[in-house]
Every structure is written in structure tokens, then in C-alpha cells.
Amino acid sequence: MQATGFLEECRDRYGSIFTLEISQGRTVVLSSDPTVAREVLTGDPDLLYAGQGNVVLRPLLGERSVLLLDGPEHLRQRRLLLPPFHGERMRAYGERIDAIAAEHVARWPVGRPFPVRDSMQAITLEVILRVVFGVEEPARVAQLSAPLRRLLDAAVSPAQMLLLQLTRSEGTRPRAPWGRIRRMMAPVDAMIHEEIGARRAELAAGGSGRDDILSLLLEARDEAGAPMTDAELRDELMTLLVAGHETTATALSWTLERVTREPEVLARLEREAAGGWADGTAYLDAVITETLRLRPVVPAVVRKLQAPMTFGGWQLPAGVNIAPSIWLIHHDPGLYPDPHSFRPERFLGRRPGTYEWIPFGGGIRRCLGAAFALHEMRVVLQAILAAARLEPTAAAPERIVRRFVTFTPAAGGRLTVAAKR
């Protein structure tokens, strides 16, 4: 049985809150209740830690990553990072994202199925390098992409992560797994520091008029007026890369996997694209919203209790991990009739309830890149629809497989292009 079917069976048998043993001795309290989700996600961040749960990423992200910190330190980093990710700002990046996507789609084969996820990953990686890191020259993008891809592939697998964590103390031995990752990380770190140095130099020489996120972060100041150090910038850039690239690539792959199985949805998108989106992107946005509901990339968000607390009528001791289940909330038949069907109309003219649709988590840890990701998805999908006619398929839905903390399509979102435009 798929893990998702198991979760739904637990909910049907035990109700909206239950404890799951995820591995020997490691338990998590899952809740499918949006009210509990709101209480957990908006609860006191000093009592509900999130960073500890991501500790397995520390070798890659570093000590100062916003994903790993809690309490006042987390708040400081988050406040520094947040302004460049404001929804309004995202429009400035549309043209760059469109050009990157169009270039990749032009290379897709015609009449032959292929897994679209690799291409989506290449697009989202390039988007981060250009829009977040501010790298412009194609040769430099390519120079950075290859070692980064190798590093991420080697590091971000569940087994590898566990191994890294267990063997970190042996990290100086070149053969130890951590040593291997560290060797792969060295050239990547060097290049990231070169980019930081270059952007700093431009700023010192009187500003560059650049609008990439790194340039904006260099000017950020905390409440005491202090800028971010190079070490902090390195960790946050790596964090944005890891948090923002695979997740968005997977969400895009699921969108294409879904729409090619729904000929009417695909036909409507193609009509709207052919009409130059004259009526706006409400339908495309509903398609994206419904994909993130039906196939949430991250199936749960976890908080660790620092003191005894009560949720859903249950008193839970300190140390318990509580997780609003994004999957179960999104598949609640009371909130979403016929919850396993892909029906973008659910969201036409209706915004989802705040804690009934939580693909980006919520509260003080809500995904920093949510507006970025939604904008990127919109622009990439528009670029695809403009350049290629996609073939609908009668193939069964792709199974869901876990890749680190994400749910991805088992066959990588196999797709056939009927013709290029």
C-alpha cells in the first residue's frame, strides 16, 4: 500500500489525531485537523521548534541556515531574508524565468515520451542561480550547475543524510561519507564565496543597480544595524538552493503529470495560452493550487514541543514531535468533496481556507519562497504552453515515491510533446 493510503486508513480508524511510529522508537503525533494545524503553526515559536527536525541537513546547509535555527536566532535570519521574497517583487523576475524555461523547452524531444522532472530541475536550478545568486553569464551558470547538481544528488538522499549525521565526527577522514561530501562541497563553497565577493565589490564601488536576491541581502541589516556575514550568506544561499529548487521542480512535474491526464483541463489551458491569457491567469492559478492540494510536495510539517502542551484535546509531554499532516488535511472529504479527483474548478473564484490548504506550511516558519515558487510555476507553465503542444495520456497516474522529505512522481512525470509551436 502507498504510504498515503496507510495515512488515510489511520485517520479513518483512529480519528483526526494519532501517534505513528516512523522508525524504532521515533514517533510523531499526526493531525488531520486544520484547527490543530493553525494552533501548532501559529503557536509560540519558543515552545514549538522546527529547526531541530532539519538537523540532518546541517552538513550541507551549515550552522546558520534559517531552516536549522530556532528561537531568536531563527527570527533574526528570517527577518533579514524575508524582504526580497515579497510577492510584489517577484514580477521583476518574470522575464528571466520565462527565457530560461523557453530555452529548455526548445530542447525537448517531439513524439517521444520522456521524464520531464530532469528538465524541471535544470530550469529551477538555473532560476535560483540567476535570480537568487545573480549569476548572469551562461558559462558561469554552467560552471556552477554541474558541481552543484552532483553535490545535491549525492547529499540529499535519506540514507546518505543519515549516514552523514552518524559519521560527522569522523569527517576528517577522506573516505568517510562526510569527507566525500565535504570534498564535493569545497569547490561549490569556493564559487559561492566568489559570487558573494563579486557582489560585495560591485556594491562597494557605488552599487550596481542589480535586483538579484543576493545583492538585496547584502544591503539587509538586522535590528542592531549589522549586515549578514559572508558565512551567513553562504549558509542561506545554500538553504535557498536546497529548499527552493527540487521542491519547485517536483511541483511543476506533478502539474504536468496531472494536466496531461485531464484532457479537458489541458485543452482549456491551451485555449487560454493561445488567447494570450487575455482573461488573466485565474484558471492556471487554480490548476497550480489544485496540484499542490492533491500532490503536496512536502506531506507534513513537524514541530518539537519544548514544554507540555495540549492539542486536539490531548495533553502532550515535552519532546513530542507534532505534525500537521498536509496530506490528510488536503484529502479531507469534508473540506474537499471527492478529494482524490483533480478538479481545478474547486479554486475558481474561491481561495482556499488558510489552514485547509498548507503546501507551504504556516506561521513564523511558513515557506519563505512561497510567492517565488508560485510565480515561477506560473511563468514556467506559461512558457511550456507557449512553446509546445502536450499530448494527453490515458496512462495510469504515476505512483508517489519519497525523495528525502518530498513526494515525487515515480516515473519523473513522463510527458510527450505532440508538436512544437
- Judge whether 186 and 64 are in contact, CB under 8 Å: no
Check binding of 161 to ligand HEM (CB under 6 A): no
Give the contact letters, 198-237, x = binds to ligand HEM (CB under 6 A), - = no.
----------------------------------------
Check binding of 100 to ligand HEM (CB under 6 A): no
3-class SS of residue 227: coil
Give the contact letters, 278-317, x = binds to ligand HEM (CB under 6 A), - = no.
-------------------xx--x----------------
- Binder among 40, 243, 273, 379 for ligand HEM (CB under 6 A): 243
Check binding of 240 to ligand HEM (CB under 6 A): yes
Beta bridge partners of 300: 325
- Binder among 34, 299, 312, 362 for ligand HEM (CB under 6 A): 362
3-class SS of residue 414: strand
The residue among 259 and 417 lying less far from ligand HEM, judged by its C-beta, is 259
Check binding of 408 to ligand HEM (CB under 6 A): no
Query: Least distance (Å) from ligand HEM to the CB of residue 296?
Result: 7
Q: How far apart are CA 37 and CA 32, in angstroms?
A: 8
Binding residues for ligand HEM, rule CB under 6 A, total 26
Q: Which of residues 25-54 bind ligand HEM (CB under 6 A)?
A: 41, 50
Beta bridge partners of 305: 48
- Judge whether 416 and 266 are in contact, CB under 8 Å: no
The residue among 373 and 390 lying less far from ligand HEM, judged by its C-beta, is 373
Query: Least distance (Å) from ligand HEM to the CB of residue 248?
Result: 4
Check binding of 67 to ligand HEM (CB under 6 A): yes
Check binding of 373 to ligand HEM (CB under 6 A): yes
CA angle at residue 301 from 49 to 216, to 5 degrees?
75
- Binder among 369, 409, 412, 413 for ligand HEM (CB under 6 A): 369
Residue spans of alpha helices (H) in 15-67: 34-41, 58-61
The residue among 244 and 344 lying less far from ligand HEM, judged by its C-beta, is 244
Is 367 annotated among the ligand-binding residues?
yes
- Binder among 244, 299, 344, 409 for ligand HEM (CB under 6 A): 244
- Binder among 359, 409, 412, 413 for ligand HEM (CB under 6 A): 359
Q: How far apart are CA 291 and CA 215, in angstroms?
A: 33
CA angle at residue 213 from 209 to 217, to 5 degrees?
90
Q: Which of residues 139-158 bind ligand HEM (CB under 6 A)?
A: none
The angle, 0 to 180 degrees and rounded to 10, between the axes of the packed helices 158-166 and 138-155 is: 70
Check binding of 413 to ligand HEM (CB under 6 A): no
Q: Which of residues 383-402 bind ligand HEM (CB under 6 A)?
A: none
Query: Least distance (Å) from ligand HEM to the CB of residue 278?
Result: 27
**DSSP string of 324-375, one letter each residue:** EBHHHHHT-TTTSSSTTS--GGGGTT-PPPTTT--TT--GGGS-TTHHHHHH
- Looking at residue 300, the DSSP 8-state letter turns out to be B
> Given the C-alpha cell 521524464, which residue does it identify?
115
Decide the pairing of beta strands 321-324 and 26-31: parallel
Q: How far apart are CA 94 and CA 79, in angstroms?
A: 24
Cα separation values, 21 from 10, 24, 231, 243, 309, Å: 12, 7, 37, 26, 20
- Binder among 330, 365, 375, 414 for ligand HEM (CB under 6 A): 365
Check binding of 361 to ligand HEM (CB under 6 A): yes
Q: How far apart are CA 330 and CA 397, in angstroms?
A: 18
Q: Which amino acids are annotated as binding site for heme, given as ranges?
A: 367
Q: Which amino acids are annotated as binding site, given as ranges?
A: 367
Summarize as ranges the residues that interact with ligand HEM (CB under 6 A). Answer: 41, 50, 66-67, 78, 239-240, 243-244, 247-248, 251, 297-298, 301, 359-362, 365-369, 372-373
